[in-house]
């Protein structure tokens, strides 16, 4: 089963994808995680990707698409995968359809998360991530703080704030790019009949964990 996570930055895509991954045993494939790993290791890919990410811009398809295609060929992704952060544009979605068609697969479910803009900005400014690339746990110092400040509950590694989460103006630019480039995907997948839109907000007391639990129940009941 191939699942895609849609939604602006800070809506909780990583949280939902991670919980589904834990329950179903399917890998969470995040282009953002792969980019950050390469940037920290100063690989050729990382250096090129950082030129765009540091400006709040999308990484070009010629860098992103081949990387995703290769990752979907790994053994752990043969029974299912959760794509978090890809596709971001209609062009990427069409290329993904072509990639999956080669192995007789298709998109089975697209989870679209919606959160008020001001709440998104606040979440991203207060988001902290585990520095251990094998863990990648995410926390929020307001909504979901670690037991010990600055330390990951799961593995004990140090938590940090992502560079692209520290500037409210950069965050607003990323949200503008999302609206322009990525939100049309909602209509694209709605036409395919695989879209499931979920509102995630403290105002209605429904968070990513609630969405993930509902999705897992639905998948297991089939």
- At 179 the pLDDT is 84
- At 131 the pLDDT is 93
- At 49 the pLDDT is 87
pLDDT surpasses 80 at 214: yes
pLDDT surpasses 90 at 96: yes
| pLDDT average, residue stretch 81-94 | 92
| pLDDT average, residue stretch 132-149 | 88
| Confidence band of 55 (pLDDT split at 50, 70, 90) | confident
In which element (H, E) is residue 99 found?
A: helix 90-102
Q: What domains are defined for the chain?
A: 2-117+168-221 (3.40.50.300)
Q: How far is C-alpha 10 from the chain's CA centre?
A: 9
Helices 44-53 and 61-71: crossing angle, nearest 10°? 130
| pLDDT average, residue stretch 74-82 | 94
- At 156 the pLDDT is 96
pLDDT surpasses 80 at 222: no
Cβ partners under 8 Å of residue 59, min gap 6: 31, 35, 48, 49, 52, 53
pLDDT surpasses 90 at 83: yes
∠ CA 179-182-187, rounded to 5°: 100
Q: pLDDT digits over 97-123, tens only?
A: 999 999 999 999 999 999 998 899 998
* Torsion sign, CA atoms 24, 30, 34, 40: negative
Query: For the CA atoms of 168, 170, 175, 180, what is the dihedral angle to 10 degrees?
Result: 150
Backbone angles phi, psi at 84, to 5 degrees: -120, 105
pLDDT surpasses 90 at 9: no
Q: pLDDT digits over 163-211, tens only?
A: 878 888 888 888 888 888 888 999 999 999 999 999 999 889 898 899 9
- At 134 the pLDDT is 83
| pLDDT average, residue stretch 34-48 | 83
| pLDDT average, residue stretch 15-44 | 87
Give the residue numbers annotated as catalytic, written as ranges: 13, 88, 127, 162, 174
pLDDT surpasses 90 at 77: yes
Considering the chain, what percentage of its residues have pLDDT values greater than 70?
A: 100
| pLDDT average, residue stretch 7-29 | 90
Residue 113 vs residue 34, higher pLDDT: 113
| Confidence band of 46 (pLDDT split at 50, 70, 90) | confident
């Amino acid at each position: 089963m191939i699942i895609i996570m849609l939604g602006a930055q800070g809506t909780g895509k990583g949280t939902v994808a991670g919980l589904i991954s834990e329950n179903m045993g399917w890998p969470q494939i995040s282009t953002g995680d792969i980019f950050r790993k390469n940037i920290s290791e100063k690989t050729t890919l990382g250096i090129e990707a950082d030129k765009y990410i540091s400006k709040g811009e999308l990484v070009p398809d010629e860098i992103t698409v081949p990387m995703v295609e290769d990752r979907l060929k790994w053994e752990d992704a043969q029974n299912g995968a959760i794509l978090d952060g890809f596709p971001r544009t209609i062009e990427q979605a069409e290329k993904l359809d072509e990639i999956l068609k080669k192995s007789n697969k298709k998109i089975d479910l697209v989870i679209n998360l919606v959160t008020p803009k001001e709440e998104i900005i606040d979440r991203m400014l207060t988001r902290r991530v585990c520095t251990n690339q094998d863990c990648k746990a995410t926390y929020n110092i307001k909504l979901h703080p670690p037991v010990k400040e600055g330390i990951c509950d799961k593995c004990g590694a140090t938590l940090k704030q992502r560079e692209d989460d520290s500037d409210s103006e950069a965050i607003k630019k990323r949200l503008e790019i999302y609206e322009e480039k990525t939100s049309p995907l909602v209509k694209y997948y709605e036409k395919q009949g695989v879209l499931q839109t979920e509102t995630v907000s403290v105002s209605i007391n429904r968070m990513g964990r609630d969405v993930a639990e509902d999705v897992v129940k639905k998948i297991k009941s089939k």
